[in-house]
Amino acid sequence: MTSSVEVIEDNSQLNENETNMDFATSEKQEARAFLRERFLRVITGIVGKQADFYLYENTRVSAEFRGCDVECLEVYTRNLETPLGKIPEAVLRTSDIIYMDMNDINVAQ
Beta bridge partners of 67: 76
Q: CATH fold of 48-104, please? A: SH3 type barrels. (2.30.30)
pLDDT, tens digit (0-9, with 9 covering 90-100), for 32-74: 999 999 999 999 999 999 999 999 999 999 999 999 998 999 9
Q: What's the pTM value of the predicted model, to 2 decimals?
A: 0.70
H or E stretch covering 65: strand 59-68
Q: Give residue limits of the domains in the chain.
A: 48-104
At CA 75, angle to CA 72 and CA 78, rounded to 5?
Answer: 155
